[in-house]
Every structure is written in C-alpha cells, then in structure tokens.
C-alpha cells in the first residue's frame, strides 16, 4: 500500500514555512524544499519560471504584498502516482483559495481594501525529498471580478466564490484505501475516453452522453468568465454545449499528470487542448487562430460516477493567443 505520507508531510511543511516567512525569506524557503532545477508553471502572465529566486520575485512576493494577511484555505489535499508516466512519479495536490485583504495593486489590478479570494490549485512532484516541479493554476479573472472589473461578457453560468466538496472530506492527510483511488481514476478515465470523439460524429443528445459519467446532481465549478453550473441538464445548457459548439478544429494534447486518491482525483496539462474558435464562445468573436488551453480538473466521485468538478483554465493565455489582452484591456478601461 502506498500511503504517500512522506510526500504529503513535505508539502505541508513547505506550506507552513511559506506562511511563516517574511518577504526576504521566501526565496530561501523555496530553495530549502525545492530542487535546484525546480520548474514552476503558472498561468499567464507568469508562465514557466525556472528557479526559486524567480518564483519568489515574480509571483509570491508581489502576491503576498497585494493580499495582506494572506492565508491558505485548502479544500482538497491528496497525493498519488502519476498514471501518465506509468505510475512512476509521485505528486501532491492542493486546491482551495488564497485569501487576504486586497491592499496593494497586483498585475495592475487596483486594490479594494476588502477581503479577496484567489482560487488556486497546485500539483507538486516530489522526488527524493524535494519538490522538483509545481503546476500552480489560479483564477486571475475571478479576482478581477471581485475588484469590480468585468474582463469578459456576461457568463453563461454563475459567478461564485466556490466552496469545497459538499461532503467536506477532501483533506486526505492520512493514508487512504488504494481501491477507492483506483475506482476514482477509472471513473475519470471513462469520462475522458467517452468524450474523445466530441467532434460532431455523435447523434445522441449531449445529456445522454453525460449521464454515463456524471451524477444527475453534478456540480461543475467553472472558471470566471464561464461560471458554475448545477445538474446535468444545466451543465449541458450553460457550458458543455456552448463549449463544444464554439470551436472548430480540436486537438487533445494529453496530460502531464493524472492521479487519484480516495474519492478525489484530477489532472493537468501544459497545454491540454489546442482549439480554434468559430465564434460565440464566452461572447468572443471567431478568429480562426488555434489557441492552447492550460487546464486543471479536480473531481469528487460518488459511487461509480463523478459528482463534483473544479476547473481552472488559463483564459488570459488563451485569449491572448487570439490577439486580445484581457488583463491589459480591463486595466486600461477600468471595466
């Protein structure tokens, strides 16, 4: 039985050290817990950073200066072996919010002096007692909307500060039954395999396809710009249908990591998808330009089907590839 306790303890110690560090100590903390050739992947405009000093200088110090009294509020914490490399590498996953008082500008977004949440999810690869890779995805448009900006046209679904699992059992600090993780990974893979031919060849209603993988009362916690939606019927209407209709050529690039532990699991890609907009998706025009989508999905399984799904999509990066700098436009216009 693989308990992943050493890897989990390392990441929790890393978080505690980061939370207690001053700005001047952050680089040293990262150097202590991460490998010398540490690779950090983050959403636009950060992208790939290749050492502790860069990660501290470009991301953590500015963010912590902006969100005063910042605290990490985790909703999911799990670990597992990565199916993508034949279950060779071990990764630890954390998801929740970074909360603080938005007291200084960040990325040009003006402060509100109010409590603000940054949705995040991190995948950490752990090798021989060190974190060697991190994929940290965070919903910048969600923070922008809390600051009064409207980076996108009206959403098809609901804009919310998103809660964690309905069952309140996503913090898997201790060992888990490996059979439960195997069932969760099988449910995730069934869903992935079932949608691989979503290019228009099927004649069945979308809701019939979804019911093979999802509970009837599923909740899809989507990113700002799309929103959250509840039940299979509304998910098909408010996201899955518009998403499939909004793109012509679709290329699945695969995942960097896919794992499960207990009744939770997920994956990330860099990028997961390459899509060509045909117009209409998120109220944006057609461009004819292929664009990459970097995505994290986190799932909760109930029985044999998926019941909740938290999504992180680098929409700033995707639309920037289409020639629209959402962040700069919103800051320039104040909208």
- The 10s digit of each residue's pLDDT in 108-144 is 999 999 999 999 999 999 999 999 999 999 999 999 9
Residue range 196-214, pLDDT digits in tens: 665 555 678 999 999 999 9
Q: Could you tell me the pLDDT band of residue 249, with boundaries at 50, 70 and 90?
A: confident
Alpha helices in the chain (DSSP H): 5-20, 26-33, 52-55, 61-66, 140-146, 178-195, 206-211, 232-235, 241-245, 315-321, 326-333
3 state SS of 216 = strand
86, exposed or middle or buried, with CB in 10 Å at 0-12, 13-18, 19+?
exposed
The reply to whether domains 5-146 and 178-333 share a CATH topology is: yes
- The candidate with the shortest Cα–Cα distance to 210, out of 307, 302, 294, is 307
Is the Cα dihedral 100, 266, 142, 110 positive or negative? positive
Q: Could you tell me the pLDDT band of residue 281, with boundaries at 50, 70 and 90?
A: confident
pTM higher than 0.85: yes
pLDDT of residue 133: 98
| CATH architecture assignment, domain 178-333 | Roll (3.10)
Is the Cα dihedral 170, 175, 176, 182 positive or negative? positive
CA 114 to each of CA 69, 147, 177, 237: distance values in angstroms, whole numbers, following the listed order: 12, 9, 42, 34
Phi, psi of 114 (to 5 degrees): -120, 160
C-beta separation of 132 from 93 below 8 A: no
- The candidate with the shortest Cα–Cα distance to 57, out of 91, 89, 28, is 28
Q: Which fold has domain 5-146?
A: Nuclear Transport Factor 2; Chain: A, (3.10.450)
Residue range 135-169, pLDDT digits in tens: 999 999 999 999 999 998 888 888 888 999 999 99
Q: Could you tell me the pLDDT band of residue 285, with boundaries at 50, 70 and 90?
A: confident
pLDDT of residue 203: 72
pLDDT, greater one: 276 or 286 = 276
Q: Domain boundaries in the chain?
A: 5-146, 178-333
């Amino acid at each position: 039985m693989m308990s992943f306790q050493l890897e989990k303890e390392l990441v929790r110690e890393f978080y505690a050290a980061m939370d207690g560090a001053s700005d001047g100590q952050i680089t040293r903390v990262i150097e202590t817990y991460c490998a010398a050739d540490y690779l950090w992947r983050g959403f636009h405009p950060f992208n790939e950073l290749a050492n502790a000093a860069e990660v501290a200088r470009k991301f953590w110090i500015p963010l912590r200066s902006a969100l005063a009294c910042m605290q990490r509020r985790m909703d999911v914490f799990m670990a597992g072996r990565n199916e993508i490399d034949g279950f060779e590498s071990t990764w630890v996953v954390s998801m929740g919010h970074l909360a603080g008082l938005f007291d200084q500008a960040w990325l040009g977004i003006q402060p509100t002096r109010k409590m603000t949440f940054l949705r995040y999810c991190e995948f950490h690869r752990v090798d021989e007692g060190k974190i060697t890779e991190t994929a940290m995805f965070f919903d910048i448009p969600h923070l922008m909307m809390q600051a009064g900006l409207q980076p996108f046209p009206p959403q098809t679904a609901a804009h919310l500060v998103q809660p964690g699992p309905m069952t309140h059992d996503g913090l898997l600090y201790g060992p888990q039954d490996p059979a439960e993780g195997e069932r969760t990974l099988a449910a995730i893979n069934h869903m992935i395999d079932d949608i691989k031919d979503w290019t228009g060849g099927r004649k069945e209603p979308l809701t019939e396809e979804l019911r093979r993988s999802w509970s009837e009362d599923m909740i899809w916690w989507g990113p700002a710009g799309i929103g959250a939606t509840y039940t299979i019927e509304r998910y098909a209407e408010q996201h899955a249908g518009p998403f499939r209709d909004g793109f012509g050529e679709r290329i699945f690039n695969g995942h960097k990591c896919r794992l499960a532990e207990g009744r939770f699991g997920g994956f990330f890609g860099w990028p997961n998808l390459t899509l060509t907009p045909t117009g209409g998706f998120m109220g944006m025009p057609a461009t004819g330009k292929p664009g990459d989508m970097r995505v994290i999905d986190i799932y909760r399984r109930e029985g044999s089907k998926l019941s909740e799904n938290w999504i992180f999509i680098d929409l700033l990066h995707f639309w920037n590839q289409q020639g629209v700098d959402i962040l700069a436009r919103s800051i320039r216009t104040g909208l």
